Amino acid sequence: MHPWWFHGTGFELGLQLFFALTIAHALGDYPLQTDFMARGKNRHVVQSYVDLPARTLWVYCLSAHALTHAALVWLITGCAGLGAVELVLHWLIDWLKIERKINFHVDQALHLICKLGYVLILLRPG
């Protein structure tokens, strides 16, 4: 099953879905991620402009950012389950980047691999 606004079958449909998810990812990581979220999601950055301590604030900011991505995946795919998967995976991947376990390039590659996985799940036979 796929959203009604995508047309075609097989490879063509997969490309449309992947392109839409990639655009949504770019929107979620750049214009829809506020400066407050971008700085606040890093637990190693002291946040002096809010009443919450950094040890608490980062969880809210990282979760809000991951929820934005989850919403975009859900809207594009029509599948709340994939939105939930995106919430968890985006949160974990960004956390790995914040903790310097991976760099920016690996972070972006992992996000795109997730999008490819969603396409494969949506287009599986049956």
Quote the CA–CA distance of 33 and 114 in Å, as a whole number. 19
What residues contact 85, with CB distance under 8 A and at least 6 apart? Answer: 73, 114, 118
Taking the model in full, what pTM does it have?
Answer: 0.89
Show pLDDT as tens, one digit a residue, over the chain (126 residues): 555 566 777 889 999 999 999 999 999 999 999 998 998 899 887 666 666 665 788 899 999 999 999 999 999 999 999 999 999 999 999 999 999 999 999 999 999 999 999 999 999 886
- List b or e across 105-121, with b for residues whose CB sees 16 or more CB atoms inside 10 angstroms: eebbebbeebbeebbee
Three-class secondary structure of residue 6 per DSSP: coil
Beta strands in the chain (DSSP E): none
